Structures are given as structure tokens and as C-alpha cells.
Chains A and B, each alone.
Chain A
């Protein structure tokens, strides 16, 4: 694949190459500069901390100490088992849902689309509370059926992690499915291929990259997640809880940094394996691919619809129960309805909401543009350069939010560089939100970019269109569905993500997720649920508004934007 990616560049006409070179350098240079400044540089500082031993000198003593500890290996084993389990489950269910949405015909898909984004726009507290209210020892299911089911531990954590990872798996796998050419399927159909055969011979090979990307993302975000492990994991210690215990419990930065750096290893390894596996996969779409419009086929669609709706209902139930609880006087003892929990005065009240929206829009707009430029540029640079850059771009998810947040303090709260000007600003929070989710945004777009036929770019190029025009007129419209979903993804996550930003807010700059955490810290769980409900309502309203704007803008365009 890398050699093929270079072809559009060589196919370019000699004239105008200079202008295009400058543009290519800009496309690659700007996002890469961002990655260097806002990811690699902070992580290098974390690395330095990890090799700083007790007497202040550098050495590998900390690594020796961590590797010698029993707890570390137990947590590593737990993390790998959890990462593996969640990956299998999420990719499987994610494929079922993405396949249902894009390649099956049944009514009410918008309900599934809506339910599937809920875990992305729900603050982590909501998901944790929802699972406990629903499946906890004193949860609705246990009480209703008189059971003694205990979710705390491996299975609870598996459910929670899957719930969180599933939308991201669907987003990435969906990007691989949405652009498959309908005519190809019709050709296979007429050649006599049965639906199952078409699935095996056409769909599976085409989504292999999507599946691998999704598996990589799910595995990575699972092993770095702290929130679910702390709330649902019970005693099931994982590497992220190890870091928390070192950094927050014992104020031992250097040891926390060691575990943080070690977490990069499985991620880089799994990405390398994935890249290796992708080398064998080649092939591109034809130029005029037709969007696939599935026809209703009962044998396929009824079971698929049933599974899809079942998953959607489970996801929605987890969120809905928290929304309901926020209107209840005293969950789970007094179910009298009340709005008293919405009268929030502590922890800054509703003040943080608007600033959070501004920050999220900044992160989403800037981030979408950055990954678009990067994807565009990477197609035009030699593979020797493109490959390490791809690894770099896929790495940020391997860093737990807490580690990234602390790394930002260490890096940007230093007057040694002009970057200090960013410290304590909303811009830095937008930046950390974007880089925290850089991997997912980048890989979603890459999955889409892969479907872009080079012939399309070449044709436009041979008509004399420069890179800039090709990008705007040819590439952007083609991958518009992915651009839209990346924008929404970054927006939703920025609205609610906590772990990275908790260390970057200041007395004058608070964000919604931190308000929720502070309310919960203060024991006001119902108020925290109420505030979360308001945040979710605001995010939903914003999403609907933006979709409406997109619909108006997209009217008259041939390719419908799906998101």
C-alpha cells in the first residue's frame, strides 16, 4: 500500500509541482508539527520522568522496580485480558451494527444511530451510574428478578468498556462499509454469488482495514481507561489503576510515568501488527462508486434488525436510567419525581457549560481540519516518511488521559518556551481534547481515504487542478461522511471528557466534565446526574442543529452525507 500511495505524486505533471510541493509540505507539516508539540514533546518529558530515579539522576531503576513488582504483572495480565475481551466483543458487535446500518434494510435506523452515539456524548459518570443502577447489586435487574448478580469485576468492566468502545468501533467500521460500491455487489449477484458468498468475498475483504483499525482503537482505549475500571472494575486492577495509584495515591510521578510509557508498548506493537497485516491487502474502489441501497431481505434483515435494536435498547437503557434518576427525589429509595437536583449552585453551577461548548467546537473544527490535511498529505509523501508518521498519528490513544493531562502541565507550565502562553487557556484544553482523541479521528479518516480512488485525484490533477483544488473539489466531498462523523465525534468527546482536562482547568476556566466530577466528589450524585443530563441535552441540541445546517448546505449535492 505505501508504494501505491505515492503514485498520485509521481503521476502529477511536472508543471505546478512546485506549488503542490509547498501545499503538500503544508498539509503534512502543520499536523505533524502539532503532533510533535502537543503529543511527542509532552510524552518525551513523561519519558524523562520515568527514567529519573530517586536521587534525581537518570537511570532505569524505576523500570526495574516496576518490573519486579507482583502487582504490575497482575495488572498487566488483567489489562491484556480485558483489552482482548473488549476488542473481540466490541468489534463483533460493532460490525453487526455497522453492517445493519449500512448494508441491511429495516426501518428505524435513526434510532440505532441515535442510541449508538449516546455513550460518546454521555459523561463517564453517567455510564458508570447507569450500569450500577441497572445491573448493580441493588440495581433494577437484581431487585426486579430477585437475583444476586454481582457485576463488579471482570464482567462488569467488560460490559462498561464495550459500551464505551462500541460507538467508536461502529464509526470506524462504518467508514469502511459506507463507501462500498453498490455496482460491485450487483456484478457479483449477476455472476451468481449468493448473499453469503458476496459477504465473504466482497464485504469482508473490503472492511478488513476497518476491522483492524477498530480492533486497534478498542484495544488501546480499553487498556488506557481508568474511569470504568475504578467504578465497575471492583478489585480487578488494571494498568490504568496502577498509574492512578502511583500518581494520585502515592504522589510518585516517576513510577506512574514508567507505567504510562509501558502502556505505549502493546499499542505500538498492535499497530505494527495491524500495518503488517494490511500490507497484504490491496485494492481500491472504481471511480464512480454508487452508494449501496439495500433491499429488504427478510432472512437477513429481520434478525439483524432484532440484534441491532436489542443493543440499542440496552445502551439507551443505561443512559435513560440516569436521566430518570436525576428527576427522582432519592434513588433508589424514594421515587417521587422532582426537579430539585437541577438547582445547582455549588462547583460553579451551570457557568462552565458555554465555555465547554466553545472549547468543543474549537477542538472539533481544528481537529477535523488537521486530520484531513494529514490524511491528504500522507498520500503524497514517500512511504519511508509516511509510515513513521502514521504510527505517530495512531499513538495518542495509548496514553491515558490522566498521563496526558499531567504531561501537559509538565510541558506547558514551563516558562522555558513560548508555549507557556497557552497554559491556563481554553485553547490548550481544546488542543488536549483533540490530541487525546487523535487516534480515532485519524483512523476513521484514513479508513475513508483508503476508499478514495487514486484515479479520481489523478483525473482532477491531469485537468490541471492543483492539490488545493483537488482537496476541496474532489477529496473533501468524497470523504464528507467521514469528515462529518469525525467532527461530531471530537465535539461530543470534548464536551464530556474528564481525565485529561481535570488537571488543566483553572479557577477562572472550568469545564462541564469537571463540574460533574466536583458535584459527585461533594457527594451530590443526583446533582451530578442532573448536570450530566443538561450536558447531554445541550450536546444533542447542538448535534441536531449542526445536522440541520449540514442538510441545508448539502442540498443539491449528489452524494448524501451520512453520519
Chain B
């Protein structure tokens, strides 16, 4: 009886393995934005026509939950463009196989794993989304820094993601702590806390709420801000003085992949000239040296030297300290 079941499951297993091993097909998990994915995937597909690209898009947090849930039998061959703070979670790192994609050697040490398990040619930034219509209606001054948000006039007018639920929330908290130092950083966050209407669970929600005029300021993502401005919402994107938090979008090879050749070819493509050209179009934050100001950065009103607006963030430190920081945050500000 037992043997019987074993035989059946073994043959099913073989069947399943066979179907998964169809050559020329890879599964890519990503948290990049939809329109980027559409553009990149079309170009990559044209470059590698024999490979069928199966791309699954989920938000950063949900993707993490899915990858971890599948850890027993990973379905993805490649993780593509996913928050590096999440990628550096030891549970995830253990699933990755070192691979130095062609072209990734040009990246600075901060933008690739010392053991070669991930590399991050691009990233995204946080931003304040300020609803100009509501700002005017309420007679509020345009906030330029975290300090400005301490003004009691902003009471109940600011939203920010909860770092315990949202990577974007952590991005902001971490940037404040790393630029001001632990003590001053926590003091800054405490000073803004009374004005916070809500700590949301989604990173883009503060900006979406600000753009429809539900609140005045949404501490959120530059991408959502730019996209909202393009849609025509009365929104201004503000990078707080002293540096805004940002996140790298890292890619890596799953060690469980059964089609590593194609997976590697795809990772190589993400560092290709063709890909970099597309990054210029879509990405404000490109870590590849020598790639000048992008069209996207210009549109966002960023200075030629983007490093002047970015917070000075040590990602190894951000990843390592995240559990402690989240716990402290929950202790201090959890509602």
C-alpha cells in the first residue's frame, strides 16, 4: 500500500518535473512597476526569442510572502527588480545562487552583493506627495523637510506607511535614522508623530490619498507622485531636505532553477546596453556609473547629480538593523 502511493507520487513527481523543465521557459518574479515590466519584457523577449518569459508581478511585500511560502519548492528562476532590503533577508539570500551577470561588474560595491547573489542597477526613491489644492485651501506652507512637518498646522493632514507593513515605510524611517543619527532620528519621527493622521499598510496609499485630496501630505513613493502628476492631479513632489530615502531594486538567480542557462541570459540582458537605454527612459535612480541624468529624472525635476537629494544610506546596515528598528518603531508609534 505504502509502496503503491510512493510509486504513484514518484511518477507524478517525474511528470511535474518534466513539465517544469521545458527548455526555453523561465519564470521571473518581479516587483517593478507594470509599465516598466511591459517595456523591458518586450525588449528582452525580442533579444531572446527562443525563451518564453513568464513574468509574475506582485508588490514588494506580497512577493516576499510568496517567495517564502514557495521556499520548499521554488517556482521562480529569477528574482528581478525587488527591494534589496527584502532581498538581504537571510531567508531569501539562502535561496539565491551567486551569479555575476555580464556587465554587473561595473556596479559599485554598494550596489551588488559581495558574494554575487544579487546586483542592483536601478532603484526607486521615496518622496512627499503634497496636494497643492488642499494645501491652498487649508492655508498651509509647502513642506520642504521632515522638520516642516512638525508644524501643528499639519495635524491630521499627513499619511505615512507603517514600516512594519510596508517597505516604503521602512525606507523613510531608515533614511531619517541614518541621516540624522539614531537619537536625533527617533526624535524627528516623534515630533512628526502627533501630526500623522494614519500609518497605512500600503506604501503607495499615502500618495493616492493625497492626490484625491483626502489628506494634504502623503509620505510615499516618487514613482506614484510622478505618475499622479502626469495624470493631472494637483500634486507636487517634494524630496525632503537632508536627503530622501531610497531603495535599490535587486535581481538574482534562484539556486533551485532548472533552466539556469536561460535565467542567466535574462539576468545578463538586464545589464545590457538595450536595458540601460530603457532605464534612462523609466528610472530616476540608476546606479550604473557613467549613465548620465535620465529623462525620467529630468522630468521629476531632479538635479543632474542625483546624489544631492538622496539620503546617505548604508544598505547592509538597513537590512541588518530592520527587525530592531521596526520593533522600536512599533513600541514608540504603534497604534
Q: Do chains A and B touch in the complex (CB under 8 A)?
A: yes
Residues of A within 8 A of B (CB): 70-71, 74, 132, 136-138, 150, 152, 230-231, 234-235, 237, 241, 244-245, 247-251, 253, 329-334, 345-347, 402, 406, 409-410, 413-418, 420-421, 424, 502-503, 505-508, 518-519, 521-523, 525
Contacts of B201 in A (CB 8 A): 230, 241, 244-245, 249
Are A421 and B16 interface neighbours, CB within 8 A?
yes
A-B contacts besides A503-B62, A522-B227, 18 pairs, CB < 8 Å: A71-B330, A137-B213, A249-B165, A249-B201, A329-B232, A331-B212, A332-B212, A333-B133, A346-B34, A402-B65, A417-B9, A421-B16, A502-B62, A503-B65, A506-B56, A507-B56, A522-B34, A523-B223
Contacts of B56 in A (CB 8 A): 505-507
The stretch that binds A, out of B68-76, B140-148, B289-297, B306-314, is B68-76
Contacts of A244 in B (CB 8 A): 165, 201
Q: How far is the CA of A410 from the CA of B73 in the complex (A)?
A: 9
Contacts of A150 in B (CB 8 A): 156
Is B264 in the interface zone, CB < 8 Å from A?
no
Contacts of A70 in B (CB 8 A): 334
- Using a CB-CB cutoff of 8 Å, which residues 189-224 of chain B contact chain A? 197-202, 204-205, 207-208, 212-215, 223-224
Given A330-B231, A332-B212, A415-B73, are A251 and B65 also a contact pair (CB < 8 Å)?
A: yes
A523 contacts which of B66, B69, B224 (Cβ < 8 Å)? B224
Q: Can you list 18 residue pairs at the A/B interface with Cβ under 8 Å?
A: A137-B215, A230-B201, A241-B165, A245-B201, A251-B65, A251-B68, A329-B232, A332-B212, A346-B38, A402-B65, A413-B73, A415-B17, A415-B73, A420-B16, A502-B62, A503-B65, A506-B27, A507-B27
Are B213 and A332 interface neighbours, CB within 8 A?
yes
Are A421 and B12 interface neighbours, CB within 8 A?
yes
Are A230 and B202 interface neighbours, CB within 8 A?
yes
Q: Which residue of B lies closest to A424 (CB)?
A: B75
Are A235 and B335 interface neighbours, CB within 8 A?
yes
- Contact mask for chain B residues 93-135; partner A; CB cutoff 8 A; 1 contact, 0 none: 0000000000000000000000000000000000000000110
Contacts of B335 in A (CB 8 A): 235, 237
Are A71 and B334 interface neighbours, CB within 8 A?
yes
B164 contacts which of A245, A329, A410, A420 (Cβ < 8 Å)? A245
- Contact mask for chain B residues 301-335; partner A; CB cutoff 8 A; 1 contact, 0 none: 00000000000000000000001001000100011
**How many chain-B residues does the 8 Å CB contact rule pick out?**
70
Q: How far is the CA of A71 from the CA of B232 in the complex (A)?
A: 40
Given A241-B201, A334-B232, are A138 and B213 also a contact pair (CB < 8 Å)?
A: yes
Are B75 and A413 interface neighbours, CB within 8 A?
yes
Given A132-B212, A347-B34, are A249 and B68 also a contact pair (CB < 8 Å)?
A: no
Q: How far is the CA of A424 from the CA of B16 in the complex (A)?
A: 11
B200 contacts which of A132, A230, A330 (Cβ < 8 Å)? A230
Given A244-B165, A333-B234, are A420 and B13 also a contact pair (CB < 8 Å)?
A: yes
B233 contacts which of A241, A333, A346, A410 (Cβ < 8 Å)? A333
Are B213 and A330 interface neighbours, CB within 8 A?
no
Contacts of A525 in B (CB 8 A): 208
Q: How far is the CA of A507 from the CA of B35 in the complex (A)?
A: 16
Is B55 in the interface zone, CB < 8 Å from A?
yes
Are B66 and A409 interface neighbours, CB within 8 A?
yes
Q: How far is the CA of A324 from the CA of B8 in the complex (A)?
A: 55
Is B58 in the interface zone, CB < 8 Å from A?
yes
Are A507 and B55 interface neighbours, CB within 8 A?
yes
* Most A Cβ at <10 Å: residue of B15, B28, B54, B214: B214
Are B134 and A138 interface neighbours, CB within 8 A?
yes
Q: How far is the CA of A417 from the CA of B200 in the complex (A)?
A: 40
Contacts of B68 in A (CB 8 A): 251, 253
Contacts of B270 in A (CB 8 A): none
Are A251 and B198 interface neighbours, CB within 8 A?
no
Contacts of A414 in B (CB 8 A): 72-73
Q: How far is the CA of A402 from the CA of B58 in the complex (A)?
A: 14
Whole-angstrom distance between the Cβ of B57 and the nearest chain A Cβ? 6
Q: Which residue of B lies closest to A138 (CB)?
A: B213
Q: How far is the CA of A523 from the CA of B227 in the complex (A)?
A: 7
Q: Which residue of A lies closest to B64 (CB)?
A: A251
Contacts of A522 in B (CB 8 A): 33-35, 227
- Contact mask for chain B residues 221-240; partner A; CB cutoff 8 A; 1 contact, 0 none: 00110011001111000000
B65 contacts which of A345, A406, A506, A518 (Cβ < 8 Å)? A406
Q: How far is the CA of A410 from the CA of B72 in the complex (A)?
A: 8
Whole-angstrom distance between the Cβ of B270 and the nearest chain A Cβ? 17
Whole-angstrom distance between the Cβ of A405 and the nearest chain B Cβ? 8
Q: Which residue of A lies closest to B58 (CB)?
A: A502
Q: Which residue of B lies closest to A151 (CB)?
A: B214
Q: How far is the CA of A417 from the CA of B11 in the complex (A)?
A: 11
Q: How far is the CA of A507 from the CA of B212 in the complex (A)?
A: 32
Q: Which residue of B lies closest to A526 (CB)?
A: B231
Is B50 in the interface zone, CB < 8 Å from A?
no
Q: How far is the CA of A71 from the CA of B331 in the complex (A)?
A: 8
Are B69 and A413 interface neighbours, CB within 8 A?
yes
* Most A Cβ at <10 Å: residue of B72, B134, B164, B197: B164
Are B133 and A410 interface neighbours, CB within 8 A?
no
- Using a CB-CB cutoff of 8 Å, which residues 38-64 of chain B contact chain A? 38, 54-59, 61-62, 64
Are A523 and B204 interface neighbours, CB within 8 A?
yes
Q: How far is the CA of A416 from the CA of B326 in the complex (A)?
A: 36
Q: Which residue of B lies closest to A230 (CB)?
A: B201
Is B251 in the interface zone, CB < 8 Å from A?
no
Q: How far is the CA of A136 from the CA of B211 in the complex (A)?
A: 13
Is B162 in the interface zone, CB < 8 Å from A?
yes
Contacts of B204 in A (CB 8 A): 521, 523
